[in-house]
Amino acid sequence: MGDQAVPAKGNILGSLIPARYILAVLGSIAMAIIYGLKVNLSVAMVAMLNHSALAHHGASSAEAKEHVNAEPVCQGSNSTEAVEDGPFIWSEPVQGIILSCYFWGYLVSQVPGARVAESFSARWVMFFSVLINVVCTLLTPVAAKMHYVAMIVMRIGEGIGGGVTFPAMHVMLASWAPPNERSVMSAIVYAGTALGTVISMLMAGVLAGTLGWESVFYVMGGLSCLWMVLWLWLIQDTPTKQPLISQEERDLITSSLGSGSSSGHNEPKPPVPWRKVFTSGPFYGILIAHICNNWGWYMLLIELPFYMKQVLQFNIKENAVVTAIPFLTMWFFSMALSKTLDALRSRGKITTTIARKTATFIASAVPMGCLLALCYIGCQRGLAVTLMTVGITAIGGMFCGLLSNHIDIAPNYAGTLMAITNTAATLSGIIVPIFVGHITHGNQTIGAWRVIFFVTIALYVLEIIAYLLLASGEEQPWNKGDKPASSIEAAEAEATPLNTKESKQSYNGQDQ
């Protein structure tokens, strides 16, 4: 039947930090590892490419296309500090494919990974996610020297591992996070993506500039192994399985989540009510916002180093620092915003719905405005860096906004809902590098990047409208099956034999 509670061993974790926050911190480190190993290639590739050869080919292409009206790139005073040419002559389209193929694997693994995490063990799903990324990262230098197709295979492997992280962590948070701490815990976990980006970009820039591009993958892959030991030692799927937790904290978590939560049980989840999910307005609010926000996120995450080099003419060390700083400020901002919104919610000043919409609005409206300004400031490098810092910082609102919203509307299916929306949003990660590579091929100018930014602005407008109209922070009726919360739910549960079966499984699996 359900899990048997493991006796607490003298509050081993709670004497230092609550067990649920040990989970949040290690979950954050896991996300940092996944994102760090994802974005390190964006920085390392600047040192891997033979820019002299590519510039020659680009000039020939530009002459052939006669870009007579193209705007010139900025003539930065530091552009003379050019990075030493690397061994690879990969054109912009090839670079786009290498960067985007990560998301091919990411796309296919999320829904299966979510169901495995919900039905068996999110803890083990997260472990293997990091393990796959570490192995593929360590093999990247060998693969790159073989052929860029081998690089593609490694990146797809990383994507398969990375794809299950958000769904698996949603399952963990649904089991561990009390409702009044959900924003903070979610922000701690998912802000790890920003922290990983900062560390990765800084380390990759320094390593590539001093020890060579291969060291980026060997050093970062090797350091990530320590996390796997700590995760298996300190983390369990639910509070009832955790022997290192105090009884007081265990009771706090399970009582706050209630008998209808997904905490404390290891029985398979009831079947997902697909028809109700795909006819739910709040679900579509999250879906549309996730797709549009991811476009902006990946535009800045993957392509920012190339904008810095192509247009603003930063060298690789400057590039790494200038690109990384905004993600550090994003981390601090997301922590402060989540804590503020949770405090206002706990005092009854705002509802969960208002909190989610406020955070998501900040995460879209501010970067939209910054990109619009960036289109018209030309080569003012200091102002450009300031605008990008403000815009990327504000994106941190998504961690306690739309990315937390799945758990609000359906905690029993939080992993699956995250997998669905993140799978759709992953298309942005596939399209963005290819789109940018196509627009900038032989035309690495401010004018080309202006087109790219305007497309991103249009998607931000769509996100704001859709989320404000459709989103909700309230639990949806279809999360509970036929639990006798209302006659309406009971009537819906009896509508078809399938729903009746779902409801019985839901009741038997939850009400223990």
Q: What residues pair up with 88 in beta bridges, in sequence order?
A: 49
State pLDDT tens for residues 336-355: 999 999 899 888 899 999 99
Same domain for 133 and 191, yes or no, is yes
In a domain, 495, yes or no: no
State pLDDT tens for residues 408-440: 999 889 899 999 998 898 888 778 878 888 888
State which amino acid sits at residue 222. G
Residue 89 CB partners (closer than 8 Å, separation 6+): 49, 50, 53, 54, 57
Same domain for 175 and 304, yes or no, is no
Same domain for 425 and 277, yes or no, is yes
In a domain, 7, yes or no: no
CATH of the domain at 340: 1.20.1250.20
pLDDT tier at 148, thresholds 50, 70, 90: confident
Average pLDDT for the chain: 80
The winner for highest mean pLDDT among 75-79, 107-111, 369-373 is 369-373
Q: Left if phi > 0, otherwise alpha if psi is -120 to 50, otherwise beta: which for 472?
A: beta
Same domain for 185 and 290, yes or no, is no
pLDDT tier at 159, thresholds 50, 70, 90: very high
Q: Express as a percent the part of the chain with pLDDT over 90.
A: 35
Residue 144 half-sphere exposure toward CB, CA atoms < 13 A: 25
Span 91-103, average pLDDT: 80
State pLDDT tens for residues 114-139: 889 988 899 999 999 999 999 999 99
Same domain for 207 and 339, yes or no, is no
pLDDT tier at 15, thresholds 50, 70, 90: low
pLDDT of residue 87: 77
pLDDT tier at 168, thresholds 50, 70, 90: very high
Domain range for 203 is: 14-60+82-242
Res. 512: pLDDT tops 50? no
- Domain count for the chain: 2
Res. 260: pLDDT tops 60? no
Show the tokens assigned to 25.
Answer: 């911190």
Show the tokens assigned to 342.
Answer: 């949770």
Which domain-ending residue is among 198, 222, 242?
242
pLDDT of residue 376: 85
Res. 282: pLDDT tops 90? yes
Q: Rounded distance, CA 187 to CA 338, Å? A: 6
Q: Rounded distance, CA 307 to CA 452, Å? A: 11
Q: What's the distance, Cα to Cα, between the start and end of the chain in Å? A: 9
Burial of 51 from C-beta contacts in 10 A (0-12 / 13-18 / 19+): middle
Same domain for 183 and 308, yes or no, is no
Same domain for 229 and 276, yes or no, is no
Same domain for 411 and 293, yes or no, is yes
DSSP 98-117: HHHTHHHHHHHHHHHHHHHI
DSSP 369-419: HHHHHHTTSTT-HHHHHHHHHHHHHHHGGGTTTHHHHHHHH-GGGHHHHHH
Res. 470: pLDDT tops 90? yes
pLDDT of residue 278: 93
In a domain, 196, yes or no: yes
pLDDT tier at 91, thresholds 50, 70, 90: confident
In a domain, 488, yes or no: no
Query: How many of the other CB atoms lie within 10 Å of CB of 170?
Result: 30
- Which of residues 55 and 221 earns the better pLDDT score? 221
- Asked if 74 and 381 touch (Cβ cutoff 8 Å), the reply is yes
pLDDT tier at 504, thresholds 50, 70, 90: very low
pLDDT tier at 160, thresholds 50, 70, 90: very high
In a domain, 496, yes or no: no
Same domain for 284 and 135, yes or no, is no
pLDDT of residue 272: 84
Span 171-181, average pLDDT: 89
pLDDT tier at 318, thresholds 50, 70, 90: low
pLDDT tier at 479, thresholds 50, 70, 90: confident
Same domain for 232 and 301, yes or no, is no
In a domain, 378, yes or no: yes
Residue 422 CB partners (closer than 8 Å, separation 6+): 110, 163, 166, 167, 290
Which domain-ending residue is among 242, 262, 287?
242
In a domain, 392, yes or no: yes
Which domain-ending residue is among 221, 242, 263?
242
In a domain, 108, yes or no: yes
Q: Closest Cα to residue 185, out of 22, 364, 12?
A: 22
Q: Rounded distance, CA 400 to CA 374, Å? A: 27
Q: Rounded distance, CA 291 to CA 392, Å? A: 17
Helices (H), 164-273: 165-176, 182-190, 192-210, 213-223, 225-234, 247-257
pLDDT tier at 481, thresholds 50, 70, 90: low
Same domain for 132 and 172, yes or no, is yes
Q: Phi and psi (nearest 5°) for 286?
A: -65, -45
pLDDT of residue 58: 54
